[in-house]
């Protein structure tokens, strides 16, 4: 309970909790020997996870508050996500989850001009483990043509990450973007992933553009997020060129930052003081903001 006056009496009521349970099985096969369960309520932020070994696919999670949960299951042979509702103090039982077989993900990593970027380590994550990072054959390291391959990758909505092998280098930035891996076959080819070079070198200080974006609502789809201006700081660079709260940024220096490309916004606007950045706005205008010193 928040905003309580000092000295007043308060009664806190702990809501009744319930239990969620069910079974897990691989599509066309039996239960996995070991698997993990993760439940997440996007509205409240409540999260719980556990691992199960040789249970015949049976699982159970106790003391869950009421809510609508995304239930993620991961095993060596597959993964799946379902939705389940819990009411206060009641049990949700008999939830059967069928795991979709994992796939091999292939794709390319390119720079903003479409040229291949070799030597980056690529991984695929569904919010749990990152697949590809421990590839002994190094197929997840982009080759001279920017190509990579990640075996045993999960399907559904996933995060694709590309990182330089030398994290302290001054070349390309660590990049993460959301994508959808369809369970349409054993091999899935993704669209090219664009990465940018670091605009702030190791040891340098990032500049200030004088505005911040609106934060995403809980549970918002990361593939549909928009770059909407929430705050324009008085006396800062952005207000001087006419940027106002509610403006939507759709491009940075001519590069699209909408939808699945939204991840590029922060990379392209992370610049040193004195750097001019051109913002394309949804209202049809464009403004050039020159980064100042941090406030």
Say which residues have a Cβ less than 8 Å from residue 286's Cβ, sequence separation at least 6: 251, 278, 279, 280
Q: Which of 216, 220, 223, 213 is nearest to 252 (CA)?
A: 213
d(CA 187, CA 185): 5
The list of the chain residues with pLDDT below 50 reads none
pLDDT confidence of residue 206: 93
Per-residue pLDDT tens for 115-133?
Answer: 999 999 999 988 767 888 7
pLDDT confidence of residue 43: 87
Residue 201: count of CB within 10 angstroms of its CB: 11
Q: DSSP letter at 43?
A: T
- How, if at all, do strands 34-40 and 67-75 pair? antiparallel
- How, if at all, do strands 92-101 and 18-26 pair? parallel
pLDDT confidence of residue 220: 83
Per-residue pLDDT tens for 208-251?
Answer: 999 999 998 877 888 999 999 999 999 999 999 999 999 999 99
């Amino acid at each position: 309970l928040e905003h309580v006056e000092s000295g007043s009496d308060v009664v806190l009521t702990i809501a009744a909790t319930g239990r969620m349970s069910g079974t897990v099985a691989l599509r066309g096969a039996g239960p996995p020997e070991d698997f993990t369960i993760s439940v997440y309520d996007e509205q409240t932020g409540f999260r719980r996870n556990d691992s199960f070994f040789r249970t015949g696919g049976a699982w159970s999670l106790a003391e869950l508050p009421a809510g609508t949960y995304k239930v993620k299951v991961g095993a060596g042979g597959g993964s799946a996500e379902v939705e389940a509702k819990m009411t206060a103090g009641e049990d949700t039982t008999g939830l059967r989850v069928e795991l979709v077989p994992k796939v091999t993900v292939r794709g390319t990593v390119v720079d903003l001009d479409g040229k291949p970027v070799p030597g980056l380590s690529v991984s695929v994550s569904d919010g749990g483990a990152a697949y590809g990072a421990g590839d002994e054959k190094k197929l997840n390291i982009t080759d001279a043509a920017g190509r990579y391959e990640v075996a045993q990758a999960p399907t559904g909505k996933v995060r694709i990450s590309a990182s330089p092998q030398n994290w302290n280098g001054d070349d390309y930035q660590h990049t993460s973007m959301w994508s959808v891996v369809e369970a349409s076959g054993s091999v899935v080819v993704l669209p090219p992933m664009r990465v940018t070079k670091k605009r702030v070198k190791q040891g340098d200080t990032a500049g200030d553009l004088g505005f911040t974006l609106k934060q995403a609502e809980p549970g918002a789809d990361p593939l549909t997020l928009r770059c909407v201006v929430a705050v324009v700081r008085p006396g800062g660079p952005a207000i001087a060129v006419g940027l106002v709260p509610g403006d939507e940024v759709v491009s940075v220096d001519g590069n699209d930052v909408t939808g699945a490309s939204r991840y590029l916004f922060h990379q392209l606007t992370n610049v040193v003081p004195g750097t001019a950045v051109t913002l394309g706005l949804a209202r049809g205008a464009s403004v050039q903001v020159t980064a100042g010193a941090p406030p």
